[in-house]
Amino acid sequence: MKGPVDSPSSGRAGTSTPWAAVFAIWLFGAALMLTAGRGGFSPAHFLDGDDALRLQQVRDLLAGQGWFDLSQYRIAPPEGVPMHWTRVVDLPIAAVIVLLRPLIGMAQAEVVAIVLVPLLTLLAAIALTARLAARQFGAKAGAIAALLMLAAVPASFRMMPLRIDHHGWQYVLALVAFNGMASRSARGGGIAAGLALALSLVISLESLPLAIVFAGVCALRLLRGDDRWLVSYMASLALGGLALFLMTRGLADLADYCDALSPVHLAVFVWVAGLCALALPRLRSRPPALGMALLGIAGLGAVAILGLRAPQCLSADAFGALDPLVKTVWLESVVEGLPFWRQGLVLGATIVLLPALGLLACWRLRRTAQNREARDFWMDMALLLAGAMLIGLLVARASAVACLFAAVPAAWQIKDQIARWSADRLLLRRLARVLLIVALCVPGALVGMAASAINPPKPSSGKAIQTCDFAALAPEIAAMPRTTILAGLDIGPTLLVTSKHTVIATAHHRASAAMRDLIVAFLGPDHGARAVIARRRATLVVICPSGGEAGVYRKRAPNGFMAHLIKDRAPDWLEPVPVDPKSGVKVWRVR
């Protein structure tokens, strides 16, 4: 094995981040997002139940709930739900609220926090994307990459105001790791990548496949003769994960979970990191194949640790313990967790085309590289992008990482087309290049426009569909005596943050038994729903008749309890509660 050598980035390195362009593009994007929100920034307007529950978790922390106590006691009465979340994402939201609460009051401080924190993640993502592109191809490419990041809807959509859940932070940390792998310093870059992904894993175990992809590229660099990448990456991943686990989880609960970073995962990281750190430096003068054989031993040991301590986690299904009915009715309806071919045309095309453009650019850059080091570098970048793309093709919400990685090489591709456009004197070719540049920037949108032109959407029937406005309902529902509510999984978190009530279940899988009760109640006959309500001691029923979840229940059980409620055929043991009709929500009280 050859001695360590520095890993160069590419031919043009060292250009500083174009901060003026970064801030201009961020301000432009933030203005668009704020305008699109039309002032509807309040806890009643969250786009996703996870965002609402995140705010509730922050409120509980500020109200005195323990740092290591992550249970939600107003879900699944009477025992509550031990969540698999982390306090890491709570910190920036709580910090903004604590700073502003003495000045503008609690309610307004929360509004500022749920608007500002996602926009700060957007700024961080834009800056990290522009930084790497500028270091490789110059400041102009950095600005183009920043624009591409903003146009990458799978990523930017989750960094809009109100999107305060963990995804935005995981995208930022993935970009930190991506920047680390482009570093000239093997040790510094490996440590940066390992620590970033350790923090991402503490936030959510969804980052585990990406961490494995990064480890694979470090192993490839080992095969080329540089063991420092893998040693520093695995050491920082293991030690960083262990420290962060102790800081955020403590020692009270050391059970092995398959949906959150647990002692079994840390044991695997420590085993692999220890073996790499102790053995790989001693093999530097030996053939690289010995190092790869050592990694094989490390992999077998990792599987053995999992098999002996937590065999249930060897399955690729993180929801293996979920009730079968809950899986069928709820999990299979969560569109963001489905593969790209189950998405809409625009989003599905974006998930595929933008990363494909990045891979094409990596191939061109590798082919035209002037030396072996640069060719190896672009091979590594292509492998990281391809790994992230494969993960995103299988799980749509993970596709944002591939889009962000692709923005860097794609920026060079677009910069090249702009240069060709400037040099071209033929008008028709210049126009064609303009169309090509636009297509490269927003491929998914153009595919959607083309599909609409070929197959125009059917004209509307003219009958308006009333959507549910929980902001209109909030004052009335909050004024009612505190009780337990039977409500849809998706609207439960909104009821939690707009009132003091308890709900039977929300769309969070650790409350599998309560979720099953709720689904059985809405799908089954009226008397079955009454039995669930009595067992869970609920006294209110709240539904959004026009909501997607209500539609799922009605379609699966046309004569079930939910279908009866939507058709105003509530059983006589329920009495309607008059609420603001503008809300579109229906409420009943158990007699």
3-state secondary structure at position 544: coil
In a domain, 175, yes or no: yes
> Which tokens belong to 43?
């806890």
- 203 and 315 co-located in one domain: yes
In a domain, 57, yes or no: no
550-553-559 Cα angle (round to 5): 115
In a domain, 155, yes or no: yes
The confidence band for 6, taking pLDDT boundaries of 50, 70 and 90, is very low
* Angle between helix 345-367 and helix 399-423 axes, rounded to 10 deg: 60
- 129 and 157 co-located in one domain: yes
The predicted structure's pLDDT at residue 131? 95
- 158 and 173 co-located in one domain: no
- 155 and 172 co-located in one domain: no
Question: Which tens digits make up the pLDDT trace of 457-497?
Answer: 554 443 334 478 888 888 899 999 999 999 999 999 999 99
3-state secondary structure at position 537: coil
**Do β-strands 71-72 and 540-543 pair in parallel, antiparallel, or remain unpaired?**
unpaired
The predicted structure's pLDDT at residue 558? 93
The larger pLDDT score, comparing residue 314 to residue 355, is at: 355
Q: Looking at 322-331, 403-412, 417-426, 525-534, which range is the least confident one?
A: 417-426
- 358 and 484 co-located in one domain: no
In a domain, 67, yes or no: no
CB atoms within 10 A of CB 103: 9
224-225-228 Cα angle (round to 5): 115
One-letter amino acid identity for 407? A
Domain of 491?
470-590
CB atoms within 10 A of CB 535: 11
In a domain, 73, yes or no: no
Please count the structural domains in the chain.
Answer: 4
CA 522 to chain centre: 29
What's the CA gap between 503 and 555, in Å, rounded? 24
- Angstrom CA distances, 46 to 155, 245, 519, stand at 17, 29, 23
Question: Which tens digits make up the pLDDT trace of 290-304?
Answer: 878 888 999 999 999
- Mean pLDDT throughout 405-413? 93
Question: Which tens digits make up the pLDDT trace of 224-252?
Answer: 888 899 999 999 999 999 999 999 998 88
One-letter amino acid identity for 299? G
3-state secondary structure at position 18: coil
The predicted structure's pLDDT at residue 582? 86
Q: Looking at 148-152, 175-179, 316-320, 565-569, which range is the least confident one?
A: 316-320
> Which tokens belong to 15?
């250009």
The larger pLDDT score, comparing residue 319 to residue 174, is at: 174
- 517 and 409 co-located in one domain: no
Residue 14 DSSP symbol:
-
Domain boundary among 321, 338, 368: 321
CA 377 to chain centre: 27
In a domain, 393, yes or no: yes
Domain boundary among 396, 425, 456: 456
3-state secondary structure 46-97: CCCHHHHHHHHHHHHHHCCCCCCCCEECCECCCCCEECCCCCCCHHHHHHHH
- Mean pLDDT throughout 352-379? 92
The confidence band for 75, taking pLDDT boundaries of 50, 70 and 90, is very high
The larger pLDDT score, comparing residue 477 to residue 336, is at: 477
**Does residue 78 have a pLDDT over 80?**
yes
- 19 and 110 co-located in one domain: yes
Residue 45 DSSP symbol:
G
The larger pLDDT score, comparing residue 542 to residue 438, is at: 542
Q: Record the pTM.
A: 0.91
**Does residue 337 have a pLDDT over 70?**
yes
Please, how many CA atoms are within 13 Å of residue 562, restricted to the half-sphere of its CB?
A: 27
- 266 and 180 co-located in one domain: yes
